[in-house]
Structure 1
Amino acid sequence: MNTSFGDGLRSVLAGKPQRRIIAPRVRRTGAVLVLALVLAACTATRLAYNQAPTLGYWWIDRHVDLNDAQSVQTRQDLDNFFQWHRSQELPAYAGLLRQWQFMAADRITPAQVCAAFEQVRVRLDHAAAEAVEPLARLALQLSPAQLDHLQQRQAKTNEEFEKDFLRGSPEQRLERRLEKAVDRSESFYGPLSPEQRALLRAQLQASPFDPQRTQAERLRRQADLLQTVRDAQAEPHKAEQRVREHIARIRQSPTPGYDAYSQALVQQGCIQIAALHNSSTGEQRASAVATLQGYESDLRTLSAQR
């Protein structure tokens, strides 16, 4: 799960691009798989979505240092993926945004929030399935030097995670999480009151989020990704199967107790989002509805473009 499920799902409900979830566990999957999942989530602007194949290419190239032949194939695969995503997934996301407008206009329950999260998860599963073939193809082409490059990039993201969530006193770490949560919430609702900031702080304090446990799972998934590539190269005819198995181990961790921990994060996140939303004023809810309407309009326009 994301470091704070509440932060991640709030951004999904707001239609914002995801840097850390989106798929709720996206960032931790490692280099190749990340491309399809991160960029598959709702994108906030038409320009950003139209540039997604290029941004995706840059992301992959930064992580594995593509050669010329790989660059050509990867660009084509990204173009194909987003053509599919534009026609098949954007209408579904637009439909979800329409549903969430009705939710945002009234009080909501944690169960409703969790149901919305499940709807997004289903869509991300579809994107992951569509990406299996091109991801397997790229995995078969990666050289030992490129895997070393990927491992170095993984180490850099681990340093970033440590800086964000493991350094400083517990109070300092809480303040950093609160700052990010407030920023995301205010982009959706507008300015929060002191009471709402206090509510967010209390919810974050109640969260079972354990950065060390989360970091350990990140490391496991990174190692899993590298081993998946090696296993695919050892048996090329099973490459797609290996990628599917890797995705399955992201969805359901083999680490004892981790899925229960992840589910506890989800449940607390649903409580957090519902509590903040139910504390919102009429003006804040109107802002939320207008934001969702804007994103829905953007996605419907994008899905009609070919």
Structure 2
Amino acid sequence: MKKITKKILLFSLVFLVGCSSTTFIYNRLDFLLPWYLESYVDLNQEQRKNLNELLEPFFEWHREEELPKYAEIIGDVELLLDEKIELSSVESITYDVEQAWFRIEDEMILWAIPMTRDLSQEQIDEFLQTMQTKTLQSEKKYLVRNLQTYQNDNYKRIRKNLRRFIGGMNKDQLDLINAASKEMIRVDGHWINNRKALIENLKLILKRDDGWELALTNITHRDDSVSDNYRKTYSHNIKVNERLFVEILNSRTEKQDKKLRSMLLRYKTDINNLIAQK
């Protein structure tokens, strides 16, 4: 894989996660990310070569089609900062960011299908076993937390993300984050259950019977097996975060505003530089 193409997608994921209030859409299909694939299954030299060739059109599409859209999202955020920020504006930005990730999912499937055709049964078994092991590790790590620990983890995560963009915050702003952290509903149990259901679905799909390619395509954001409770919880937490962002941004100081605009400019400059590189 060319260094620059990997850099483009890595940067894009950092950008999308930085703009998002939850990791739901970024970790559900992590095994589709090209540099994560080999943490699930050992590829031989020929398969690595084939993977690099399959990824070239994906990275070309991403550079030409998606990066300009990211620059537009940043431009929209910059415009919002010139006036009082409304909830509807933040909701629009959230929608654009999520749609950007969903488009990446759809395109990743295009190389994942031919790659899956080339895997041996032994590699398929290894892949599924690794998924199960990683899920069990996540279950042991996250589900042991009590409610207070869960809320504190939310607080630290949100504070860290906001600090990246606006720097240190005052007591009133930190109190807003604390209140939002307590309003969020636990999603880790839903995530684990959804991951287990995904593995069971993949066990059937990866038997590679007739129609398996279409079934694999449908495990993306269109997947109907994602529980209603998971979707409702995710939606609730998104709304909590959106309201928080409105309050934080409307209460930002001159120093915070300067840092935020500087960060947005840096992102936009980096994106434009990546677009220009071949």
Give TM-score, length-normalised by structure 2: 0.84
Give the Cα–Cα distance (whole angstroms) in 1 for the partners of residues 126 and 141 of structure 2: 23
Q: Is the 8 A contact 1:189 1:287 kept in 2?
A: yes
Give the Cα–Cα distance (whole angstroms) in 2 for the partners of residues 74 and 14 of structure 1: 23
For the residue of structure 1 that corresponds to 2:144, the secondary structure is: coil
Aligned length: 267
Counterpart residue number, 2:125? 148
For the residue of structure 2 that corresponds to 1:175, the secondary structure is: helix
Aligned mate of 2:243, from 260, 268, 271: 271
Q: Are 1:81 and 2:58 matched, yes or no? A: yes
Any gaps of 5 or more consecutive residues in structure 1? 1-11, 36-55
More displaced stretch, 110-119 vs 295-304: 110-119
CA displacement, residues 11-68 of structure 1 (integer Å, 9 cap, x when unaligned): x9993656x998742311252x3x1xxxxxxxxxxxxxxxxxxxx33x2111111122
Give the Cα–Cα distance (whole angstroms) in 1 for the partners of residues 23 and 111 of structure 2: 19
Identity %: 20
Q: Are 1:199 and 2:176 matched, yes or no? A: yes
RMSD: 2.8
Q: Is the 8 A contact 1:200 1:272 kept in 2?
A: yes
Q: Is the 8 A contact 1:132 1:244 kept in 2?
A: yes
Give TM-score, length-normalised by structure 1: 0.77
The 5-angstrom pairing of residues 17-96 of structure 1 reads: 24-29=24-29, 31=31, 33=32, 35=33, 56-57=34-35, 59-96=36-73
Give the Cα–Cα distance (whole angstroms) in 2 for the partners of residues 95 and 133 of structure 1: 26
Q: Are 1:297 and 2:256 matched, yes or no? A: no
Counterpart residue number, 2:3? none
Counterpart residue number, 2:209? 234
CA displacement, residues 154-193 of structure 1 (integer Å, 9 cap, x when unaligned): 2443355346532233222222222222111111110122
Give the Cα–Cα distance (whole angstroms) in 2 for the partners of residues 278 and 271 of structure 1: 11
Counterpart residue number, 2:6? none
Any gaps of 5 or more consecutive residues in structure 2? 1-11
Instruction: Give 2:153's aligned amino acid.
Output: R
CA displacement, residues 102-155 of structure 1 (integer Å, 9 cap, x when unaligned): 223443233222211111222223223323321111122223322332234324
Displacement of 1:260 in angstroms is: 2.6
The 5-angstrom pairing of residues 96-175 of structure 1 reads: 96-159=73-136, 161-162=138-139, 165-175=142-152
CA displacement, residues 62-120 of structure 1 (integer Å, 9 cap, x when unaligned): 11111222111111122331122111111111111111112234432332222111112
Q: Are 1:176 and 2:149 matched, yes or no? A: no
The 5-angstrom pairing of residues 202-213 of structure 1 reads: 202-213=179-190
